[in-house]
Amino acid sequence: MQQGPTTLEIVGAVNSEDLKAGEGNTDILSFFALVSSAFFINEKKKASSEELSSKTFSIYDKIITQYKKLHIESLLKKHDDIKEKFDGATSGNIHILDQNLQNNCLVIHSYSSEQQDKANARYSTLEKEAQQTPDIRNIVLTKADSLDNLKRAYPNYFINPNGFIEEIKKMKDAISERKASLRTSKKMRIVMWLVIIAWTLVLSYVILT
């Protein structure tokens, strides 16, 4: 599943940490390790139609706790609703991605093969500007034959984190349903034992009389 690794890059970009390389906030890295395990289990469950185990729900519970504690959703919302702007012919195969995390804007500068020198010069200018605010600006010079290929190569520049947030919500719902089910089962067991005790008392009374 792409959501986990890509979301890790988004949080890393917001925090100016190379989380994908295993560097940065250890609590956040641990959180995404748990998420990766949960996503793997979910995919396996879809293929086999197996019921989720108690161990899986335990993982879910840890994920939700850390999700709230680390304010992951707030970090992701900083990357939400990315505004894409195009500078140049989108049919070009040389692209500069200029990502501004502060205003959630991505400017795509595109050039043809014949404009390589122009692209290099523009990249140098933008790179110098970005060095003034490295925590909010990301610049990359790359080649891609189409916008779709560009998005596949750099998903963290284009991704909307709402899909990841929705997956976390599903985990929350699964935990709520399980807790409700356990409460119902507990009530049923209590009722059953009360019925058994009542019948036992009735039978004892009949025998004694």
Least confident piece of the model among 29-38, 93-102, 117-126, 184-193: 184-193
SS3 99: strand
Q: Which two tokens stand for residue 8?
A: 């890790």
pLDDT of residue 201: 80
Report, as an integer, the average pLDDT of 170-177: 87
| 67 CA to centre of own chain | 10
Which of 45 and 111 is assigned the larger pLDDT? Answer: 111
Q: Taking a C-beta distance cutoff of 8 angstroms, is the pair 4, 29 a contact?
A: no
Query: First vs last Cα of the chain: how many Å apart?
Result: 70
pLDDT tens for residues 8-25? 777 776 676 777 777 778
Q: How confident is the model at residue 43 (pLDDT cuts 50, 70, 90)?
A: confident
Domain boundaries, the chain: 3-78+161-208, 83-158
pLDDT tens for residues 152-165? 888 777 766 777 88
pTM of the model: 0.54
